[in-house]
């Protein structure tokens, strides 16, 4: 039964176990989930282990080993979605469909749950239904969706405007504003030669746009000089940092620039294969991107002897992720590309010498590759003249939250936070979370600070909070995010992020004491010093920042001055109340406000 749909998929992927994630995705798109008998078939045909399939499938949020419902609805749960009321919409949907949040309906029709930020913060609240993005949710839209689900209408027949994703480009500079003729950057690069191209990128002082800011030219040069059987180019489009969506726009409207940037890199380092790691949430971009690749192949911008350049063969594959923030970390991303769990590797060695299949690999952000085409076309010196001394060029910001004009803004590096706030129509702003939960929380007193590697480095997220927002709840949302996305490899992050989440919930529920506050601080120090990778190191940032800058938001929750028991008898009765459908005063042990279940 399963061989009928699996065999053609395996054929297409050459029975190659490193393509396991793509194989599983296509199997699931066909069957709805990964059936235990289907795993038997994979084991037999690919010569892999059952545990290999199960451990990979169990790691990624969008793979299911059990039926998740014929309609699998996941509400994006970034703080910006929450500010737009996603939780009320979710509850409304659950009520209308008569289901419990997180559970599959008895008839196997539908399940409703939350997922991490889906990258639609400028047009939220958003959800994914069977992997497809629905934006701009309202109560009316939720009602229509419930109706469509109840009548089992196929997604293809749902109103097209539900799936409409807007670009919302608000400010263009050299990258978004320049005309681009596909092939122009490649021709310029061929005139230079590989080493001179790298020298231009070094002269340009281009730094990685994923946030860490490593010098791109040095990375390319290091990779070019590293010995190996093959060299690889990887484009990190696993844009998982909550509040970031600029790569989505680049891939939707500037894909030629991105692919040409990857091809330039392939030329510079001597690679024949490039891979775009596209986050699972952007599944809807797969076919359009493949069409762009096909066009480029037809124009000889990909393939053999590109544009007549003898011996330069290069092609690009798209690898779709399946819901794991950690895969934005470059070594975890490479593990995932190899069809494994996305666990960050021990480093050194770094990908530049031991990356994909242990071969020299350049991993760069989408925006970095796109910027590379500008440098090839117009020269490194020109590019170095843009921005600030240590931050050459421009940066795309994904602006969302409390402002009238959310969307994409391209600025030369060095722009102040205040300038961005003015341009996006933010008033009465209390704080901006720059670069997402792992970034920096900037308070009003610091709005003259600059977006640049010298001051506030960023991967691009720019979430605005006005004075009506509770910064403790912002931090709590981010802590929940890290606990959900911890890969589980190392003890401090696996356990520490969950302990931190529980403590923040305890404060939220009004049971916090100064002791818990001290515990939070202590856990943060431990996470920072003991964790295996950046996720654990930065999981404490939102809390430490908000404690330092918005202390009163925490203090007002410390209602008890001394010790508070962790166990609340009345709260423990909640399941009994739920199962009996009671909520009258006699069903409670005392009159104290009932906290939310952690």
* Residues forming the site for other proteins (CB under 8 A): 36, 39-40, 49-52, 54-55, 58-61, 324, 341, 346, 483-492, 494-499, 502, 522, 526, 529-532, 566
> Judged by CB, which is closer to other proteins: 400, or 438?
438
d(CA 533, CA 113): 28
State which residue, 177 or 488, has the beta carbon closest to other proteins: 488
C-alpha span between 241 and 437 (Å, rounded): 7
Query: What's the token pair of residue 188?
Result: 């310029």
Q: How far is the CB of 355 from other proteins (least distance, A)?
A: 18
d(CA 576, CA 410): 54
Strands (E), 35-76: 71-76
Q: Are 364 and 211 in contact (CB under 8 A)?
A: no
127 within 8 A of 137, measured Cβ to Cβ: yes
Q: From the centroid of its chain, how far is CA 547?
A: 25
Residue 235, phi then psi, degrees to nearest 5: -105, 120
- Smallest gap, in angstroms, from Cβ of residue 222 to other proteins? 19
Least separation in angstroms between CB 42 and other proteins:
12
Taking the least distance from each CB to other proteins, the nearer of 279 and 532 is: 532
Task: Report the alpha-carbon angle 496-500-503, nearest 5.
Answer: 140
d(CA 274, CA 22): 16
Q: How near is the Cβ of 12 to other proteins at its closest, in Å?
A: 26
Residue in the block written with tokens 């490193």: 18
Q: Are 242 and 436 in contact (CB under 8 A)?
A: yes
Q: Three-state DSSP class for 499?
A: helix
Q: Alpha-carbon distance 78 to 66, whole Å?
A: 26
CB of 48 to other proteins, least distance (A): 10
The values of phi and psi at residue 158, to 5°, are -70, 155
User: Could you tell me which residues come within 8 angstroms of residue 226 by beta carbon, excluding any fewer than 6 positions away?
Assistant: 352, 353, 360
Q: Are 524 and 493 in contact (CB under 8 A)?
A: no
Q: Distances from the Cα of 383 to the Cαs of 189, 359, 439, 451, in angstroms?
A: 15, 31, 26, 17
CB nearer to other proteins: pick between 381 and 566? 566
Residue among 366 and 523 whose Cβ is closer to other proteins:
523
State the nearest-atom distance from the C-beta of 460 to other proteins, in Å: 25
DSSP-assigned letter for residue 448: T
If the CB atoms of residues 352 and 493 are measured against other proteins, the closer one turns out to be 493
Which residue is associated with the tokens 């996941």?
74
Segment holding 411, helix H or strand E: strand 407-412
Q: Is the dihedral of CA 445, 451, 455, 459 positive or negative?
A: positive
Closer of 308 and 565 to other proteins (Cβ)? 565
For residue 257, how far is the Cα from the chain centroid?
A: 21
Work out how close the CB of 333 gets to other proteins at its nearest, in angstroms, rounded to a whole number.
15
Q: Checking DSSP bridges between strand 169-171 and strand 461-466, what pairing results, if any?
A: unpaired
Q: Looking at beta carbons only, is 235 or 535 nearer to other proteins? A: 535
In the complex, minimum distance from the CB of residue 214 to other proteins, in angstroms, rounded to a whole number: 19
- Give least dist CB 498 to other proteins, A: 5
Q: Is the CB of 243 or the CB of 344 nearer to other proteins?
A: 344
- Closest separation between CB of residue 568 and other proteins, Å? 12
Beta-carbon contacts of 461 under 8 Å, excluding residues fewer than 6 positions away, are 241, 242, 243, 244, 397, 398, 400, 433, 434, 435, 436, 439
Q: Minimum CB separation from other proteins for residue 336, in Å? A: 12
Which residue, 52 or 477, has its beta carbon nearer to other proteins?
Answer: 52
Q: Tell me the closest approach of the beta carbon of residue 491 to other proteins, in angstroms.
A: 5
- Nearest approach in angstroms of CB 526 to other proteins is 6
Q: Which is nearer to other proteins, 17 or 496 (CB)?
A: 496
Q: Which is nearer to other proteins, 350 or 489 (CB)?
A: 489
Q: Judge whether 412 and 403 are in contact, CB under 8 Å.
A: no
341 Cβ neighbours under 8 A, 6+ residues apart: 55, 56, 59, 335, 487
Of 236 and 524, which has the nearer Cβ to other proteins? 524
Cα–Cα dist 193/269, whole Å: 11
């Amino acid at each position: 039964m399963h061989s009928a749909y699996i065999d053609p998929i395996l054929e297409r992927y050459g029975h190659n176990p490193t393509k396991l994630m793509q194989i599983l995705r296509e199997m699931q798109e066909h069957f709805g989930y990964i059936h235990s008998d289907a795993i038997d078939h994979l084991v037999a045909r690919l010569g892999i282990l059952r545990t290999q399939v199960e451990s990979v499938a169990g790691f990624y949020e969008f793979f299911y080993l059990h039926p998740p419902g014929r309609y699998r609805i996941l509400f994006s749960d970034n703080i910006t979605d929450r500010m737009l009321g996603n939780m009320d919409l979710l509850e409304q949907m659950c009520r209308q469909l008569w289901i419990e949040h997180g559970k599959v309906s008895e008839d196997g029709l539908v399940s409703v749950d939350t997922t991490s930020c889906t990258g639609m913060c400028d047009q939220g609240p958003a959800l994914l239904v069977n992997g497809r993005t629905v934006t701009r949710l309202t109560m009316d839209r939720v009602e229509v969706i419930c109706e469509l689900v109840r009548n089992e209408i196929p997604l293809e027949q749902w109103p097209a405007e539900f799936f409409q994703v807007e670009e919302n480009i608000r400010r263009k500079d050299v990258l978004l504003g320049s005309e681009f003729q596909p092939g122009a950057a490649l021709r310029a690069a061929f005139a230079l030669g590989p080493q001179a191209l790298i020298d231009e990128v070094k002269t340009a002082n281009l730094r990685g746009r994923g946030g860490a800011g490593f010098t791109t030219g040095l990375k390319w040069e290091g990779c070019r000089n590293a010995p190996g059987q093959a060299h690889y180019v990887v484009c990190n489009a696993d844009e998982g940092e909550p509040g970031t969506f600029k790569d989505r726009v680049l891939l939707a409207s500037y894909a030629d620039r991105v692919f040409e940037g990857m091809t330039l890199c392939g030329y510079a380092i001597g690679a024949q294969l490039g891979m775009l790691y596209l986050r699972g949430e952007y599944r809807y971009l797969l076919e359009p991107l493949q069409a762009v690749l096909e066009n480029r192949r037809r124009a000889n911008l990909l393939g053999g002897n590109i544009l007549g350049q003898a011996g330069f063969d290069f092609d690009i594959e798209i690898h779709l992720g399946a819901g794991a923030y950690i895969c934005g970390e470059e070594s975890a991303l490479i593990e995932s590309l190899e069809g494994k769990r996305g666990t960050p590797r021990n480093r050194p060695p770094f990908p530049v010498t031991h990356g994909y299949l242990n071969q020299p690999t350049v991993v760069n952000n989408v925006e970095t590759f796109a910027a590379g085409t500008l440098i090839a076309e117009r020269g490194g010196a020109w590019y170095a003249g843009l921005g600030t001394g240590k931050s050459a060029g421009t940066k795309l910001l994904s602006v969302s939250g409390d402002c009238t004009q959310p969307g994409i803004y391209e600025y030369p590096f060095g722009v102040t936070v205040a300038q961005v706030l003015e341009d996006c129509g933010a008033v009465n702003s209390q704080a901006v979370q720059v670069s997402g939960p792992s970034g920096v929380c900037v308070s009003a007193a610091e709005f003259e600070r600059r977006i640049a590697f010298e001051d506030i480095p960023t991967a691009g997220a720019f979430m605005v909070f006005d004075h009506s927002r509770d910064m403790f709840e912002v931090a709590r949302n981010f802590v929940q995010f890290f606990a959900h996305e911890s890969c589980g490899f190392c003890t401090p992050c696996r356990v520490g992020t969950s302990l931190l989440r529980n403590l923040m919930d305890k404060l939220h529920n009004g049971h916090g004491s100064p002791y818990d506050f001290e515990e939070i601080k202590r856990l943060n120090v431990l996470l920072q010093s003991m964790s295996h990778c950046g996720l654990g190191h930065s999981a404490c940032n939102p809390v430490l920042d908000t404690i330092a800058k918005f202390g009163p938001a925490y203090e007002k929750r410390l209602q008890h001055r001394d010790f508070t028991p962790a166990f609340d008898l009345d709260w423990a009765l909640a399941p009994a109340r739920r199962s009996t459908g009671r909520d009258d005063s006699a069903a409670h042990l005392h009159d104290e406000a009932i906290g939310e279940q952690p």
